[in-house]
Amino acid sequence: MADQKQTPKSESGDLPNDAGSYLDHIIDLLPCYISIQDLKHRLLFVNRSFRNDFGDGIGKRCHTVYKDSPNICRACPVEKTLQDKRIHVGEMTVQLPDGKICQMLIQSSPILDAKGEVEAIIEMGTNITQVKKSQKELTTLGQSIALLSHGIKNILEGLQGGAYVVDEAFKEGDIQLAKKGWSIVNKNIFDITDVVQNILYSSKNRPLKYEMVSPGRLVQDAAQLFREKAAAMNIKLDEQINAALPDVPLDAASIRRMLHNLIWNALEACHNDKEKKQHLVSVNTDYFDRNHFMFEITDNGTGMDEATRRNMLEEFFSTKGSGGTGLGLAVVEKVVNKHGGRIEVKSAPGKGTTFKIIFNLDFSLTKRCKSSIP
């Protein structure tokens, strides 16, 4: 383009004497972090990108600027270059002054004196947070396709098996066999519906549609939906509701999905527990304190160990093998986060699990929500 500024050159094609200022300008424009460090990792020079995101930092050690740490980073490329005078590359996690965490690709190269000894290190850092995020999404996508395909395949095979039993029952006029086949079909219809609804909720980021609803009514509806299934699994399903709780502004559809996932999880935990003769799942709603209310789902099933509790909210994490997709509790967390709530979990192997889902009693929001309902 004719109006672009270009670096002036002499007739010989060399840069003029003030070329240093142009090179400084070019280094400042580079979309990466450039620094020169001394033998003790102190910053001697930083470019504009570095200053914009980390501050000036001159005279400070790089690990202090990057991580607010007094210690040299583990596997530090600069330290390796100091030791062997070679170029090194590494990845590290750093924290920006605004608190954001980013992934960095770090490259270090030695600056040698006339005797070939290292007198300083030039370091280039590139923010690869978005690249790493894309890599993780692609990995997760591959895992999800594999897990969901296997789970759906099992459900479809169950549907085919149940349908076959029903067909045979019709041929033989055996009503008891027909009931048995239909129970198999009905179970797998429930399973495939649950999987699809969790996939849809997990993949869509729809805005919440607040309406004034009764927490007690939501619990009653959810418990009623699972009443027959619990009885068929020989599990007692109980509910306790504090009638004094007021109507609150919630996205009813997503809260129902949250409760369904938690109740079904509790029922499965009891069903998989072969140690106890009697199993109970309790679904409650009550005040948590004067400013909060809660949904509480308790079971006396298998319980969870520490590793399971630590990973239970991760998408596609499941302890059920091919019997689970790992989406149920991830959807629960998404619903709770979007409502500004929090999750508390108590669990122990063989003892059972209690989930407390805690939300604000925001009376100002309640008034605004009421005024917006026709």
Span 69-76, mean pLDDT? 86
Shared-domain flag, residues 267 and 322: yes
Shared-domain flag, residues 231 and 346: yes
Report pLDDT for 200: 59
Shared-domain flag, residues 180 and 275: no
Is residue 174 situated within a structural domain?
A: yes
Report pLDDT for 1: 41
> What are the tokens at 11?
């007739």
Shared-domain flag, residues 210 and 166: no
pLDDT band at 31 (very low <50, low <70, confident <90, very high): confident
Is residue 283 situated within a structural domain?
A: yes
pLDDT at residue 299 above 90? yes
Span 153-172, mean pLDDT? 79
Question: The tokens 């954001």 sit on which residue?
Answer: 100
Shared-domain flag, residues 182 and 243: no
Q: What is the mean pLDDT of the chain?
A: 80
Looking up residue 101, the CATH number of its domain turns out to be: 3.30.450.20
Domain that holds residue 314: 205-372
Report pLDDT for 80: 93
* Contact indicator for 359, 338 with CB cutoff of 8 Å: no
Span 111-132, mean pLDDT? 90
> What are the tokens at 102?
């980013």
Is residue 7 situated within a structural domain?
A: no
* Contact indicator for 336, 261 with CB cutoff of 8 Å: no
**CA of 300: how far to CAs of 38, 213, 269, 317, in Å?**
61, 29, 8, 22
Report pLDDT for 6: 46
* Contact indicator for 260, 194 with CB cutoff of 8 Å: yes
Looking up residue 293, the CATH number of its domain turns out to be: 3.30.565.10
Shared-domain flag, residues 217 and 360: yes
pLDDT band at 369 (very low <50, low <70, confident <90, very high): very low
Chain segment 227-250, per-residue pLDDT in tens: 888 888 899 999 999 999 999 999
Q: Which of 127, 150, 180 is the last residue of a domain?
A: 127
Task: Give residue 355's identity as a one-letter amino acid code.
Answer: F
What is the rounded distance in angstroms from the CA atom of residue 347 to the CA atom of residue 265?
Answer: 13
Is residue 320 situated within a structural domain?
A: yes
Span 190-199, mean pLDDT? 64
* Contact indicator for 96, 102 with CB cutoff of 8 Å: yes
Chain segment 304-326, per-residue pLDDT in tens: 888 777 766 565 445 554 444 45
Chain segment 87-99, per-residue pLDDT in tens: 999 888 887 777 7
Is residue 154 situated within a structural domain?
A: yes
Question: The tokens 């709530």 sit on which residue?
Answer: 341
Q: Which of 74, 104, 127 is the last residue of a domain?
A: 127
Shared-domain flag, residues 338 and 285: yes
Shared-domain flag, residues 92 and 178: no
pLDDT at residue 301 above 50? yes
Span 262-267, mean pLDDT? 90
No. of helices (H) and no. of strands (E), the chain: 11, 12
> Which pTM does this prediction carry?
0.49
The residue ranking higher by pLDDT, 292 or 74, is: 292
Q: What are phi and psi of 76, to 5 degrees?
A: -65, 120
pLDDT band at 152 (very low <50, low <70, confident <90, very high): low
Span 151-179, mean pLDDT? 80
Shared-domain flag, residues 244 and 193: no
Shared-domain flag, residues 180 and 320: no
Is residue 10 situated within a structural domain?
A: no
Report pLDDT for 179: 85
Is residue 11 situated within a structural domain?
A: no
pLDDT band at 373 (very low <50, low <70, confident <90, very high): very low
pLDDT at residue 112 above 80? yes
Span 155-182, mean pLDDT? 82
Report pLDDT for 10: 46
pLDDT at residue 220 above 80? yes
Is residue 9 situated within a structural domain?
A: no
Find all residues with CB under 8 Å of 34, minimum gap 6, and list them.
27, 45, 46, 47, 49, 50, 122, 123, 124
Q: Which of 157, 183, 198 is the last residue of a domain?
A: 198
pLDDT at residue 137 above 90? no
Q: What is the CA radius of gyration of the chain?
A: 30
Q: How many domains does the chain have?
A: 3
Shared-domain flag, residues 323 and 339: yes
The residue ranking higher by pLDDT, 148 or 306, is: 306
Report pLDDT for 320: 53
Shared-domain flag, residues 274 and 347: yes
* Contact indicator for 294, 286 with CB cutoff of 8 Å: yes
Find all residues with CB under 8 Å of 140, minimum gap 6, and list them.
315, 316
